[in-house]
Structure 1
Amino acid sequence: MADTVGHARTLEELVRPLLEVLEALTGMESTYFTLVDEAAGRQTVLFARNTQALDIPESLSVPWDDTLCRRALDEGRAYTENVPAHWGDSAAARELGIQSYASTPVRMEDGRLYGTLCAASARSLPISEEARHALRLFSGLISQQLERERLVQELQAAITALSTSLMIDPVTGLPNRRALVQELTRRTAHAHRAQETVLVAFLDLDGFKAINDRHGHDTGDQFLAAIGCALSLGLRADDFIARLGGDEFVAVASVSSHDLPHALDAFRDRLTACTRGRFELDRVTLDYDGASIGVVAASDADADNEALIARADAAMYEAKRERRAS
């Protein structure tokens, strides 16, 4: 059993062998582990071992106030071989025909009651000190496993949150450059198989420095967030938008390779519409004439994702020069 317990990866892998040993030590035909939900007033059997006539089924859920476990905890009575004499008012015990009963609470590290570890019999049986000690020992082992699983869950949640934060721009809530590169890798790999072409648009918010200088950085950040929101809402479901930093954004779309010229213009028009218009911020309203946008189609000539982004950046600067000249 020591090897089984030492290598248990889950609560169930730990508890089931313990129930088998508990049966051997107590001589009782039913051993089980329960979950107690004090707020809901229910006790549920999670894992059970039944070897004779007395059958306490898994998933059995009963009112907590009616249970032998509740009475044992309240009275500090861990064992009785005469349940009818001590707790004859328990409907659950009468229905199951329990004569002998032993239990110990299983608590979390903070003292909160998680459940109970129990043994029951339809016969009147004494219980040895060895069995009493085993009940307490097994309860501690289960508590340790519960705490370990809780810590693992917290660690996994922290890792997920950290991974997410590493991929998100904190000002706009949009994906950042790291996420963009990953998305481009995925898109270009899929495009070769699906006869699609990946479009990359580089956006630069003309006049953003003047907004910052005139209204302050808080307003500037609000404007960036508003632009990010407008882009997220205005693009198609399959489009992708990221903030590189400063006043620069990159949008990505996948289109049919047979419709490239029209798709390039349509993508640029959608982006322009998203960035042009009136933006209501906390302390100021901005009428904005839109970003300078350069759109390119990915090709085999692009050495890597950074080269593709750089080519879209160059196309944006060409669009910016044309806007200034017009």
Structure 2
Amino acid sequence: MDNDLRQLARTLAHGDDFESVVRPLLALIKRVSGLPSVYLTFIDKNAEEQRVLFADNDSAMVIGEGLSVPWKDTLCKRALEEGRYVTNDVPGCWGNVKAAQELGIQTYASVPVHRVDRELFGTLCGASSVDVHVDESVVELLHLCSELIALNLERHSRTLQAEKRATVAEQRLNKVDLASRITSACLAASSLRVAVREVSQLLEQDTAWSKVDAFRVSGDALDNLSDANDHSQLLAQQVLEGDQGALQLIIKQQEQPMLWADAEEQTQALVICSGSQVEALILIFLQADIADCGDSLYLLNSAVNSLSLLAAKLDDHARLEAANQVLQQHALHDVLTGLPNRRYLIEALDDKMSEAERLETPLYIAFIDLDGFKQLNDDYGHDAGDIFLQRFTERLVGVLRGHDLVARYGGDEFVFVGLGSPDDDFSVVSAQLVKRIREATSGNFELPEADLFYRGPSIGVIEWQPGDMHDADVTLSHADAAMYQDKRRRRANPDAS
């Protein structure tokens, strides 16, 4: 007996679950009482039934685990109502109880098992088909075991609650970690397409939904980023073509960035947008009502906000890049003619010299001055002069080869730069170049106020060879000097040009 008690004490102290505590108690009661069947029941008041949870039986009487009987027709209910814990004459006391009749119970013992809050949990019972003497010590043992079971129920309940709180805390930490990883992915991303795919893959780790599909939006078209099926594609398209007022509200105010793609299917659409348009959609196929997914809802809000901030940042960056390109275009190009300006020419000529050195080929620079341009402005006005410059530029550009460059150097001055060949004859090449330019830019020009016959510009051509001074300004000054020689020649002999 002492060994049994010591073993029981160890079991109660270290039992991992409810069953491991109850079974040794049942074995002890069975051994002390002599009753062939001892069992613990649970009373389900809502279902109005009593169910055997655990039992310790001899062959003399077997009351099986899982046996369920209506609560109103049980010996336990009679015993509790009458305060009778033991009877040796069940047929005489409660002969009308069907369960007792079927089992042939003669001796019966039962004590209630209450939770710590005194709510009835069930009963601790013993039964025999023959008369068994059950004295007060057995009843005391039953009450003691009932209290031990009640204490273990409380301990088990608190353990379950603690485990539940720990599970909830772990789930929340997991969601916080996911939200952090989503934010980090968006902060590090340089492409919205890549970020949307990565975020959708991270969201798939949450068990609140069964499926996540992602789409990049380009105009009215959808780029499938997650191998979504046709049904998902259709839902996403319906979101884009659906309530335009709701979409515009999301775009302008970033409010409620989640819409129902299909309420019956419990499918939410996360709308990712920049400051001007919808950029992407993520479809979330929920496992439960979204109202019951508070922590997961926080995760979705975090994801859509991070992605929308990224979309807005990339959109702003694209706009800034476009503005910078326009500014750079204006900084390096002439507004009137669209040609590269003097600043661009200096930088480009330096690159051309490096290229000529690498290829060991000459470089030809032609300095072009529009003779009579001041008089044209005086006679026809500056607007006509601007139009003439534009028409002149069109003709000049027409003589360019693939790698040639022409720039507006000043008010009525232009510069042509082109690569030659190692075996070129400068006198031949320069004459051909002057002839091409002059033929293209001479003749009739139709202006708004009049038709003008233009006799062509003055042109000075020089040859720059690898090994010559690598200085764009000096080289251009030599070409400018050559142009003035041509200008003096043309003035001295007007018919020659």
Tell me which of 238, 256, 274 is aligned to 2:421.
Answer: 256
Matched, 1:132 2:293: no
- Provide the rounded CA distance (Å) in 2 between the counterparts of 1:103 and 1:271: 63
Aligned residues: 297
**Partner of residue 318, structure 1:** 485
Aligned pairs for 1:211-230 within 5 A: 211-230=376-395
Counterpart AA for 1:244: Y
Tell me which of 415, 426, 437 is aligned to 1:271.
Answer: 437
- Provide the rounded CA distance (Å) in 1 between the counterparts of 2:415 and 2:441: 13
**Partner of residue 446, structure 2:** 280
**Partner of residue 211, structure 2:** 30
Deviations 1:20-60 (A, max 9, x none): 443333443422323456x74x65533x3xxxxxx7369x7
Q: Give 3-state SS (helix, strand or coil) of 1:196's partner.
A: coil
Q: Give 3-state SS (helix, strand or coil) of 2:224's partner.
A: strand
- Provide the rounded CA distance (Å) in 2 between the counterparts of 1:302 and 1:108: 53
Structure-1-length-normalised TM-score = 0.79
Q: Give 3-state SS (helix, strand or coil) of 2:388's partner.
A: helix
Structure-2-length-normalised TM-score = 0.54
CA shift for structure 1 position 102: 3.5
2:200–2:213 CA contact under 8 A, matched in 1: yes
Counterpart AA for 1:278: N
- Provide the rounded CA distance (Å) in 1 between the counterparts of 2:222 and 2:345: 49
Q: Give 3-state SS (helix, strand or coil) of 1:245's partner.
A: coil
**Partner of residue 192, structure 2:** 11
Cα gap change, 1:64/1:19 in structure 2, threshold over 3 Å: closer, same or farther?
closer
CA shift for structure 1 position 177: 1.0
Tell me which of 126, 140, 149 is aligned to 2:314.
Answer: 149
**Partner of residue 95, structure 1:** none
CA shift for structure 1 position 157: 1.1
**Uncovered stretches (5+) of structure 1, i.e. residues with no partner:** 49-54, 88-98
- Provide the rounded CA distance (Å) in 2 between the counterparts of 1:226 and 1:113: 44
- Provide the rounded CA distance (Å) in 2 between the counterparts of 1:117 and 1:246: 57
Deviations 1:134-170 (A, max 9, x none): 2122211111111111011111111112112222111
Greater Rg, structure 1 or structure 2? 2
CA shift for structure 1 position 313: 0.5
Cα gap change, 1:231/1:138 in structure 2, threshold over 3 Å: closer, same or farther?
same
Q: Give 3-state SS (helix, strand or coil) of 2:482's partner.
A: helix
CA shift for structure 1 position 109: 3.2
**Uncovered stretches (5+) of structure 2, i.e. residues with no partner:** 1-180, 247-255
- Provide the rounded CA distance (Å) in 1 between the counterparts of 2:237 and 2:368: 65
Larger CA deviation: 146-155 vs 260-269: 260-269
Deviations 1:258-281 (A, max 9, x none): 222211111111111122111111
Cα gap change, 1:68/1:267 in structure 2, threshold over 3 Å: closer, same or farther?
closer
**Partner of residue 302, structure 1:** 469
Q: Give 3-state SS (helix, strand or coil) of 2:409's partner.
A: strand
- Provide the rounded CA distance (Å) in 2 between the counterparts of 1:210 and 1:294: 22
Counterpart AA for 1:138: A
**Partner of residue 324, structure 2:** 159
Cα gap change, 1:295/1:148 in structure 2, threshold over 3 Å: closer, same or farther?
same
Cα gap change, 1:67/1:107 in structure 2, threshold over 3 Å: closer, same or farther?
closer
- Provide the rounded CA distance (Å) in 2 between the counterparts of 1:68 and 1:150: 20
**Partner of residue 59, structure 2:** none
- Provide the rounded CA distance (Å) in 2 between the counterparts of 1:245 and 1:68: 53
- The alignment yields a C-alpha RMSD, in angstroms, of 3.2
Counterpart AA for 1:296: I
Cα gap change, 1:44/1:181 in structure 2, threshold over 3 Å: closer, same or farther?
closer
Cα gap change, 1:195/1:125 in structure 2, threshold over 3 Å: closer, same or farther?
same
Cα gap change, 1:132/1:190 in structure 2, threshold over 3 Å: closer, same or farther?
same
**Partner of residue 56, structure 1:** 228
Q: Give 3-state SS (helix, strand or coil) of 2:314's partner.
A: helix
Counterpart AA for 1:255: G
- Provide the rounded CA distance (Å) in 2 between the counterparts of 1:105 and 1:79: 10
CA shift for structure 1 position 176: 1.1
2:217–2:279 CA contact under 8 A, matched in 1: yes
- Provide the rounded CA distance (Å) in 2 between the counterparts of 1:10 and 1:174: 34
Larger relative contact order (C-alpha < 8 A, sep ≥ 6)?
Answer: 1
2:438–2:456 CA contact under 8 A, matched in 1: yes
2:443–2:453 CA contact under 8 A, matched in 1: yes
CA shift for structure 1 position 293: 0.9
